[in-house]
Amino acid sequence: MNRRRTLSIVFIACASFLAALLVALLVWDWSWFRGHAERAASDAIGRNVTIGGLISVDLGLTTRVVLNDVTMANSSWGKADSFAHVERLDVSVSVPALIRGETEIRSLALSGFTVALERNANGDANWIFKGGNPNRGNEDGAQIAIRRITMRDGSLRFSDQQASRSFDLKIATMHGTIAEESGEVVVDGTGSFQGMPFDLALNTGPIDALRRRSRPFPVDLSARVGENRFSANGSIQAPPRLDSMDFRINLEGPDLSKLANLAGMDIPATPAFALRGRVVQKGDTLTFENLSARLGENALTVSGRVRSLAEAEAMDLHVDAKGSNLAVLADLAGLSMPETAPYEFKGRVVYGDNEWTLDDFSARLGRSDLAGNIRVNIIAAGKGGALPRVTGELRSNALDLDDFDELFGVEARDEGDGQKRPNNATTKDRVIPDVPLPVEWLKAIEGDVRVTVRSIENVYGDIDSVAGHVVLEEGKLTIDQLDLTAGDGKLAASATVDARGDSVAVSLNGEIRKLDLATVLPKGAVERINGQLGGSVTLSGGGQSLLPLLKSLHGEVTAFLAGGELNRLLAEATGLDVLGTLRSLVGDKAATTRIRCMVADFDVDGGVLDSNALVLDTDSLLLTGDGRISLPDEAVNITLTPRARGINPLSFSAPLTVSGSFRDVRIAPQVTGLGAQAGKTFALGLLLGPMAALAPVIEEKLAGDSNCAALLKDARTPSDGKKDERNEVPSKPSPREPFGIPQER
C-alpha cells in the first residue's frame, strides 16, 4: 500500500512538473535567448549577427522557429550596409530526427531578404567567412536534410570592382522540394535579372549523392531571361569543389548584345545567336565536343581540350568556321568593317609551352584561298634574346584582290573619348606623311616566313605567281627572293629594314623584265598607256621617321617601256596639245599613237631624283626631258622638249615645264626664249646621248626590243650619219647591275 501510494505521488509530481514545464514553455518569451543565439551565430561565421525582431517557437514533433529582422554584417571594406538581411526566417525542424542524431529541416522559408555580394579591387570577397572550415566536412557524421525551401520578395546585388561589373537579381517566388523517398530536388522560380524577367526550372538527383563522390550527381536546368533561353543537362561528378562535370548545353537568343549587357559588357547589336554542344571538365582540363556557335549566317564549331581555362596554360582545338560576312565578327572585336565576301576557315589551333601553332590550316575569302602552317613562340630564345618568334609557310592557289578590297577600309574605332585615331598624320600641304618608322616593333619580334602564291587575279590583270621569303632577326627585316611572274614578264626584288641602331636603315633593290603594264595598272590607266616594262631600282637610306629617310635616299632608278600605245587624251593631258602639236601629228580622228620606246633614268641623291635620260619616242613625236623630282620637298621641276617626226627633223615645238608640288603639279609651255629656240638646231645624238650608257641594260630588260634598239642606234649616231665625237656620251665603265641579280653578259 505504501509502495503504491509512493508511486502515485511520484507520478503526480512528474505530471505536475511536466504540465508546469509545458505551461512555462507555452507562455515563455523566447526572445530571452536572443543574445545567446546572436553570439553563437556570430562566432560561427566570424561576423556580427543580430536579431532585431521577435523570436517565436511552436513546439511539437515538428518544431517551428520564426526569427524576425535578422541581419548579418558586411566585411569591413564592403560598401553595402550589410551582407544579408532577412525580414522573416521561418524554420521547421523534426524533433525525432534530432533524437536520432540527424538534422531534418522540414521547411525553410525566407521572405523580404536582401543579399549583397561584393569583391574589392584586391580580389577579396565578402562571402568568404573567417569562422569554420568549409573543407573540413561534417566530422561527427551528422547529416542535414532540407525537404522544402521557399523564397519570396528577395533581391541579390553582385558588385565586382576587380572586373568592373555588377548585376541585380530579384526573386519574386522560388520554390524547392526534396522528395522524401528518392531525395530528388525540384526547384522553380520567377523574378527579374538586370531588369529582364526570368524563370527557371531545376531538377537534380538526391542531395545524399553529393556526399558519394564516386557517383555522378545529375542536373537538369532550363532558364529564360528576357528572350534568351538556356538549358544544361548532365552531371557533376565530384562536388563540392565542382572540379568535374559533364554537360550538354544549349543557349540561344535574338541578339547577343542583350545577353552581353546582362554580364556588364557593351557590344553592338547582333543577329540571332545560338550555342550548342558538350562540355566536359575533369580537374583543370575542359573538353569541348562539337561545340557549335551560330551568329546570324556565321557558324563556328570547336572540338578539343583546354587546360586551366582562365590562364589558358595549354589547348588543342580543331576549329571550323564559315560565314557570309566578316563584318559581323569585326563589330564584336571593336572594328568597323564594310561587308565582305563569304569566308571559311579550318585548322588546328595548339598552344603549350608558350607556343601557339596554327597547324595545317586552310582559309577562303570569296574566291581567294590561303593555307599553311604558322608557329608563334611567345618567349623564344632567338638571336635577339627572349622575343616572340613567328615561323611558318603560307601558300595560296589563287588570290583575287577584289575579295580584299573591303578589308582595306577597316578604320580605327572610337576609343571612348569621341575621337577616332587616324592611321597616320599628314600636314596640310604634304602628300607623303612624316610618320615614325617602326623601330620598336622591329625589335620586339622575330620571324621567318615563306609565302607562295600560284595565281593573283586583280582589276589590272592576272599575275601567274608570287613567291617570297621574309626574315626578321635582331631588329633587321630582310625580304629576299621576292619573285613575281606575269606572262613573259618577271619582277625580282629584295629589301632590308635594319632597326638595330637608333634609326632605321632601309635598302631596296630589284629589276623588272618585259612586264606587261596591264598587270600592274588599273584598267582605265591601261586604256591610256600600255606596253612592256623593264627597269631596275637600287635605293638606300635611313632615319627615325619617313621624312629623314626620304632626305637620305640615294641610288638609281631606271624604267623602260616598249611595244605599247599612248592614248591621245593622255597626250593632251600632258600639255602637248598646248601648241596644237598633237593634232597635227596624230590627227583629230586618231585615238592612239604607238610607243616605240620610253626611257626614264634617274640618279638619286639626298632624296632628289636627277634625270640622266627622259625620252618618249612614238610614231609621231619624240619627247625628251631633263629635270629633278625632290621627294623630301615634294617638288617637281622638269623640262620636256617635243620634236615632231616626219615634219622637220630639226624643228622643235616650245619646251614644256612640269613644275609644282606633288599636290599641285602644273604643265605649261615655256614662252620665254621661244623665238631663240626656233633658230637653233641640235643633233639627235645630243638629245639621246644619255641613253647610250643605258644600252646594255635596256637591251637586257626588254630582250633587244627593235624600236628601243633603233633609238639607241640613233643615240650613238649624229643626224648627218657621221660620228660626232663632240656629242658622243662616253659609256660608263660597266653596265649597271641590279643589286643581287647578276646581269647576263
Q: Is the pTM of this model over 0.85?
A: no
In a domain, 212, yes or no: no
Mean pLDDT is lowest, of 12-26, 71-85, 475-489, 525-539, for 12-26
What CA–CA distance (Å, rounded) separates 485 from 596?
24
Residue 294 has a pLDDT of 93
Q: What integer pLDDT is reported at residue 111 of this predicted model?
A: 92
Structural domain includes residue 410: no
Evaluate if residue 488 carries a pLDDT over 50.
yes
Does 405 have pLDDT greater than 70? no
- Residue 722 is predicted with a pLDDT of 43
Q: What is the pLDDT of residue 680?
A: 39
The rounded mean pLDDT for the chain is 76
| pLDDT number for residue 349 | 92
Percent of the chain whose pLDDT exceeds 70: 68
Task: Give domain status of residue 742, yes or no.
Answer: no
Percent of the chain with pLDDT over 90: 22
Among 506, 513, 497, 368, residue whose Cα is nearest residue 445: 497
DSSP per-residue codes, 44-89: HHTS-EEE-S-EEEE-SSEEEEEEEEEEEPPPTT-SSS-SEEEEEE
Mean pLDDT of 276-296: 91
In this predicted structure, what is the pLDDT of residue 396?
A: 93
Predicted local confidence at residue 363, as pLDDT:
93
Q: Which of 151, 178, 205 is the last residue of a domain?
A: 178
Unique residue bearing C-alpha cell 632626305: 551
Q: Residue 546: which domain range?
A: 504-716
Does residue 347 fall inside a structural domain? Answer: no
In a domain, 258, yes or no: no
Output b/e per residue, 237-267; b: 16+ Cβ within 10 A: bbeeeeebbbbebebbbebbbbbebbeeeeb
Query: pLDDT for 320-368, tens place per residue?
Result: 999 988 887 777 776 667 788 899 999 999 998 888 899 899 999 888 9
Tell me, what's the pLDDT at 586?
A: 43
- The mean pLDDT value for 262-279 works out to 85
570 within some domain: yes
Q: Is pLDDT at 280 greater than 80 in this prediction?
A: yes
Over residues 725-733, mean pLDDT: 35
103-143 pLDDT, tens per residue?
A: 788 888 889 989 999 988 888 888 887 654 444 444 444 45
Residue 586 lies in a domain: yes
The residue-averaged pLDDT of 370-391 equals 77
Coil, helix or strand for 211? helix
Note whether 117 and 156 are within 8 A (CB). Answer: yes
Instruction: Give the pLDDT confidence of 532-566 residue by residue, as tens digits.
Output: 888 899 999 999 888 999 999 999 999 888 877 77
The sign of the torsion formed by the CA atoms of 48, 53, 54, 58 equals negative
- Give the lowest-confidence range in 178-187, 486-495, 517-526: 517-526
Alpha helices (H) along 514-630: 523-526, 546-552, 568-573, 581-586
Look at residue 481 and tell me if it is in a domain: no
Which residue's entry shows cell 599641285? 664
**Which is higher by pLDDT, 264 or 662?**
662
| Cα separation, 678 vs 661, whole angstroms | 30
**How confident is the model over 446-461, as pLDDT tens digits?**
899 999 998 887 655 6
Segment 26-82, tens digit of pLDDT: 545 556 667 777 887 788 778 888 888 877 878 778 888 888 998 989 988 888 889
Q: Which residue has the higher pLDDT, 698 or 87?
A: 87
- DSSP H helical ranges for 316-381: 327-332
pLDDT in tens, 302-311: 999 998 766 6
- φ, ψ at 3 (rounded to 5°): -65, -45
What's the rounded Cα separation, in Å, for the pair 364 and 106?
63
Q: How many domains does the chain have?
A: 2
- Res 671 pLDDT > 60: no
pLDDT of residue 627: 92
Residue 193 binned pLDDT confidence (cut-offs 50, 70, 90): confident
φ and ψ at 46, to 5 degrees?
A: 75, 20
β partners of residue 361 = 372
Residue 636 has pLDDT above 70, yes or no: yes
> Average pLDDT for residues 649-675, to the nearest whole number?
69
